[in-house]
Chain A
Amino acid sequence: MWQSILFNLIQVAVVVGLAPLVEGVLHRMEENVQSKRGPSIFQVYRDLWKLLQKDEIVSGESSWIFRAAPYVAFVMPIFVTLLIPVLTRYPLFFAFMGDMLAAGFLLALGGFFVALAAVDAANPYGAMGASRTRMVGFLAEPVFMMVFFTVSFTAGSTIPYIVQASWSAVPGGFLEPVHILVILAFLMLILADESRIPVDNPSGQFELAMIGKSKYLEYSGRGAALIKWAGCMKLVVLTCVLCNVLVTPWGLAAEHTLAAVLLAIPLVLFKILIFLLVLVIIESSLAKLRLFRISEFLSAAFVICLLAMVTRLMGS
Chain B
Amino acid sequence: MINLFTEPLDAFCGGFFLLTAIGIVSTRQILACLRLFVIQALLLVAAALLIGVKLSSGDLVAVAVITFVTKVVAIPWVLKLSAGSEIYAQREIDQVLNIPLALLISAALVLFSYFVATPMVTAVGQPFTDINLPIGLAGLVLGAFTVTVRREAMAQLIGLLVMENGVFFASISIVPHLPVIAEISAAIDVPVMSLIIGLLIRRIHKRTGSTVVSELATLRED
User: What's the Cα separation between A309 and B216 when bound, in Å?
Assistant: 40
User: What's the Cα separation between A6 and B19 when bound, in Å?
Assistant: 43
Question: For chain B residues 118-162, which have a beta carbon within 8 Å of chain A?
Answer: 118, 130-131, 134-135
Q: Is B100 an interface residue (CB 8 A)?
A: yes
User: What's the Cα separation between A306 and B19 when bound, in Å?
Assistant: 12
Q: Is B106 an interface residue (CB 8 A)?
A: yes
User: What's the Cα separation between A295 and B102 when bound, in Å?
Assistant: 13
User: What's the Cα separation between A306 and B11 when bound, in Å?
Assistant: 17
Q: Is A97 an interface residue (CB 8 A)?
A: no
User: What's the Cα separation between A294 and B160 when bound, in Å?
Assistant: 29
Interface centre among B26, B111, B118 (most CB of A within 10 A): B111
Q: Are B18 and A303 in contact (CB under 8 A)?
A: no
Size band of the interface chain B makes with A? 20 to 34
Binds B, one of A72-80, A174-182, A234-242: A174-182
Question: For chain A residues 171-217, which have a beta carbon within 8 Å of chain B?
Answer: 171-181, 184
Query: Residue of A at shortest CB range from B121?
Result: A315
Question: For chain A residues 254-296, which have a beta carbon within 8 Å of chain B?
Answer: 295-296
Given contacts A177-B12, A314-B114, A315-B130, contact A184 B104 (CB under 8 A): no
Question: Nearest Cβ in chain A — how far from B2, in angstroms?
Answer: 13
Q: Are A303 and B19 in contact (CB under 8 A)?
A: no
User: What's the Cα separation between A315 and B118 when bound, in Å?
Assistant: 8
Question: For chain A residues 130-179, which have a beta carbon within 8 Å of chain B?
Answer: 171-179
In the complex, chain B residues whose CB is within 8 Å of the CB of A179: 15
User: What's the Cα separation between A310 and B116 when bound, in Å?
Assistant: 13
What string of 1s and 0s marks CB contacts (under 8 Å) between B1-33 and chain A?
Answer: 000110111011011101100100010000000
User: What's the Cα separation between A185 and B173 when bound, in Å?
Assistant: 28
Question: Nearest Cβ in chain A — how far from B129, in angstroms?
Answer: 11
Q: Are B110 and A307 in contact (CB under 8 A)?
A: yes
Interface of B is mostly: helix
The one of B8, B11, B12, B100 that contacts A295, using a Cβ cutoff of 8 Å? B100
Given contacts A172-B8, A175-B12, A296-B99, contact A307 B22 (CB under 8 A): yes
Q: Are A307 and B12 in contact (CB under 8 A)?
A: no
User: What's the Cα separation between A315 and B110 when bound, in Å?
Assistant: 11
User: What's the Cα separation between A299 and B14 when bound, in Å?
Assistant: 21
Q: Are B26 and A315 in contact (CB under 8 A)?
A: no
Q: Is B103 an interface residue (CB 8 A)?
A: yes
Question: Nearest Cβ in chain A — how far from B20, in angstroms?
Answer: 12
Question: For chain A residues 223-245, which have a beta carbon within 8 Å of chain B?
Answer: none
Given contacts A172-B7, A303-B104, A303-B107, contact A180 B130 (CB under 8 A): no
Q: Is A304 an interface residue (CB 8 A)?
A: yes
Q: Are A310 and B107 in contact (CB under 8 A)?
A: yes
Minimum-distance CB pairs A-B, first 3: A177-B15, A314-B114, A299-B100
Return 22 A-B CB contacts under 8 Å, by A number.
Answer: A171-B4, A172-B5, A172-B7, A172-B8, A174-B8, A175-B9, A177-B135, A180-B16, A184-B19, A296-B98, A296-B103, A299-B103, A300-B103, A307-B19, A307-B22, A310-B114, A311-B18, A314-B114, A314-B115, A314-B134, A315-B114, A315-B131
Residues of A at the B interface (CB closer than 8 Å) are: 171-181, 184, 295-296, 299-300, 302-304, 306-307, 310-311, 314-316
Beyond the given pairs A171-B4, A177-B135, A180-B16, 15 more chain A to chain B contacts, judged by CB atoms under 8 angstroms and listed by A's residue number, are A172-B8, A175-B12, A176-B8, A176-B11, A177-B11, A180-B15, A180-B19, A184-B19, A296-B99, A299-B100, A302-B103, A303-B104, A303-B107, A314-B111, A315-B114
